[in-house]
Amino acid sequence: MTQSRTHTCGQLRLENAGEKVTLSGWMENLREVGGNIGFLVLRDFYGTTQVVVETEELLREVKALNKETTIQVTGTVRERTNKNPKIPTGEVEIVPETITVLGRCRYHELPFEVNFSRDADESQRLKYRYLDLRNPSVKQNIVMRSRVVSALRRAMEEHGFLEITTPILTASSPEGARDYLVPSRKHPGEFYALPQAPQQFKQLLMASGFDRYFQIAPCFRDEDARGDRSPGEFYQLDMEMAFASQEDVFAVLEDVLPPIFAKYGAYSVASKAPFTRIPYLQAMEEFGTDKPDLRIDLRVKDVTELLSGCGFPPFENSVIKAVPVSDCALTRKAIDKLCEDIEVQAGKKPYWFKMDEQGALAGGIAKFLNAQESLARQVTEALGLTPGTLVMVSAGPKNEAVKTAGVALKFLGEACEGHMDKERYEFCWIVDFPMYEIGEESGKLEFCHNPFSMPSGGMEALLKVERGELDPLELSAQQYDLVCNGIELSSGAVRNHDPEIMVKAFEMVGLGEEDVKAKFPAMYNAFCYGAPPHAGIAPGVDRMVMLLSGESSIREVIAFPMNKSAQDVMMGAPSQVTEAQLRELCIKVEAEKE
């Protein structure tokens, strides 16, 4: 124990009665009950202990203190008359001899009540994060994070992985998101970049002869916030294996993750190996997303051919998807609200109809289906409709129809009782991602997932594309995602370790050998000295802990998160710097023109 205490506030029990002890912590509350008696709640990291102030002098001292003042209490432990079974120390209390102020709270009014900080406005919570973290329920997420990271480290070491740290100041690299740039004082006009991921370094470690690498790696990306993504920085369990295939990577994570999820998670059930494997195209067709939640038993059905001629204008010249939900007891009002929520998230309006208890199609767009008796019968047969079934329908260009159907499936699974087993963790692998796609902004062929991935079929497949024998959009890559409960935990791939195949892959997107050498000089040259086949993955630690804790926002599992605008409102970052600092870095800031 430290000098200022003999016990913590969560440690004393009935067997300590009669002992003289010293506790230190924050004054959480003081309740007077008349006369010269006051009940003081003392809180530290480990718990709370009741202190009974029974003298006029001591009561006067503590009444002069504001809540959250740190104090030291020395006194005798005794059995409580009114026991509190809700806390571990609920059978005892302290009768103090002395109460010493260690750190005075100088504010009578707090920004929020510490124990109810989660009810406060998020901007206030982030500004006064040091108070927010005093809330035991908030603190517990950070404690869990520490234990999960420790468990991950032990598990990786048991699997023969060596923890190696990689540089934070590195070169800018095109990896999909915006870099955070750091100006160099010694090299005016030149910049370092904070790593979006240790991708190149871990591949270089494989080329250097290290067999199994991992680290809890900090990554930096200048991107917008989401519920499951923190702007600025995040951490991932980064790993790479030499002389390894996709199956080797799968085997490691299928052994490492389920015990950790079962032990630390809000749910005690987690998928066992092998995880379900779903090809990317199949996932998009059946779930409307490449991040399916396998706890939901619903599936998307393609009804384009069946409904395109039903006379409903939005279905004309559209791809049409349907999500049938049996035994759905939602009211008309609830269905309308669900449609509004789906439209907000998907950006496209869904449509609906249902089969009533008499077996007839009713509500929503049912009149267009009932206009043709044979069509109503065909729809019933094709979708396997039974009385009480609700059908949500999306239509439009393929990407929009698929996305809307995917959002509808998720919302319906959560809203309709009996279609989602929430109390479990369901993992799956999404495999066989497309190697290339047409960029939304450029309209040109671009890498779909990761430019360092090995194309399925290697050089021969790329040559087929070059000869026009294979559509580049049909070429798949040895890429894979790990998904849990509808949240993408990680992307990974078998790497392209052959310089010739790498150059050919980049040629498909209009970049030649000189471009590859210029953009990835170290990796290209290292591979020219003979690199082993290698593969890896990097599950996000923040998302993992978010799932384990049952939180819906990733900011709840990060000690000092930024807000949605990538600002640290507690520290005041980002902030302006002095002209002297800018001159030293040869930087001039010009006001943005209106």
Query: What fold, for 296-415?
Result: Gyrase A; domain 2 (3.30.1360)
Termini Cα distance of the chain? 61
Three-state secondary-structure class, residue 245: coil
What pLDDT does 38 receive? 94
- Residue type at position 79: E
Provide the CB-side half-sphere exposure for 490 (13 A, CA): 24
What pLDDT does 122 receive? 94
Instruction: Tell me the pLDDT tens digit for each residue of 463-486.
Output: 999 999 999 999 999 999 999 999
Among 172-176, 364-368, 378-382, 531-535, which stretch is predicted with the lowest mean pLDDT? 172-176
Has residue 594 got a pLDDT over 60? no
> Distances from the Cα of 428 to the Cαs of 120, 280, 352, 490, in angstroms?
36, 12, 30, 11
Residue 231 or residue 479, greater confidence: 479
What pLDDT does 1 receive? 45
Encoding tokens for residue 463? 């040559």
> Distances from the Cα of 462 to the Cαs of 2, 67, 111, 469, 505, in angstroms?
66, 68, 61, 10, 7
Query: How large is the average pLDDT for residues 88-113?
Result: 96
**DSSP H helices in 314-397:** 332-346, 366-370, 373-383
Has residue 593 got a pLDDT over 80? no
What pLDDT does 176 receive? 65
Has residue 225 got a pLDDT over 80? no
Query: How large is the average pLDDT for residues 198-204?
Result: 95
Long-range contacts (CB closer than 8 Å, 24 or more residues apart) made by 107-113: 107/66, 108/66, 110/67, 110/68
Query: How large is the average pLDDT for residues 96-121?
Result: 96
- Where does the chain hold its CATH 3.30.930.10 domain(s)? 137-269+537-583
- Where does the chain hold its CATH 2.40.50.140 domain(s)? 14-103
- Where does the chain hold its CATH 3.30.1360.30 domain(s)? 296-415
> Distances from the Cα of 328 to the Cαs of 102, 412, 414, in angstroms?
60, 9, 11
- Nearest Cα neighbor of 345 from 293, 299, 411 is 411
Whether the CB-CB separation of 353 and 362 falls below 8 Å is answered with yes
Interacting residues of 532 by C-beta distance below 8 A, sequence separation 6+: 206, 207, 242, 243, 497
Instruction: Tell me the pLDDT tens digit for each residue of 418-460.
Output: 999 999 999 999 999 999 999 878 889 999 878 889 999 999 9
Interacting residues of 404 by C-beta distance below 8 A, sequence separation 6+: 288, 321, 342, 346, 347, 348, 350, 394, 396
User: What does the mean pLDDT of the chain come to?
Assistant: 94
Has residue 519 got a pLDDT over 80? yes
What pLDDT does 439 receive? 85
Query: How large is the average pLDDT for residues 44-61?
Result: 95
Whether the CB-CB separation of 53 and 40 falls below 8 Å is answered with yes
Has residue 123 got a pLDDT over 50? yes
Query: How large is the average pLDDT for residues 265-271?
Result: 92
Helix and strand totals (H; E) in the chain: 18, 22
Split at pLDDT 50, 70, 90, the class of 227 is low
Split at pLDDT 50, 70, 90, the class of 155 is very high
Inter-axis angle of helices 541-549 and 246-264, nearest 10: 40
Inter-axis angle of helices 398-415 and 280-287, nearest 10: 60
Query: How large is the average pLDDT for residues 9-24?
Result: 97
> Of 28-37, 167-176, 268-277, which one has max mean pLDDT?
268-277
Instruction: Tell me the pLDDT tens digit for each residue of 536-561.
Output: 999 999 999 999 999 989 999 999 99
Has residue 234 got a pLDDT over 80? yes
Whether the CB-CB separation of 165 and 285 falls below 8 Å is answered with no
Please tell me the chain's helix, strand, coil percentages from 3-state DSSP, rounded to the nearest 5: 35, 25, 40
Cα–Cα–Cα angle for 557, 254, 544, nearest 5°?
10
137-269+537-583: what CATH class? Answer: alpha beta
Whether the CB-CB separation of 66 and 107 falls below 8 Å is answered with yes
Query: What fold, for 14-103?
Result: OB fold (Dihydrolipoamide Acetyltransferase, E2P) (2.40.50)
Query: How large is the average pLDDT for residues 212-239?
Result: 88
- Nearest Cα neighbor of 491 from 543, 445, 440 is 543
Encoding tokens for residue 523? 């990796």
For residues 369 and 322, what is the distance between their CA atoms, to the nearest angstrom? 14
Has residue 236 got a pLDDT over 80? yes
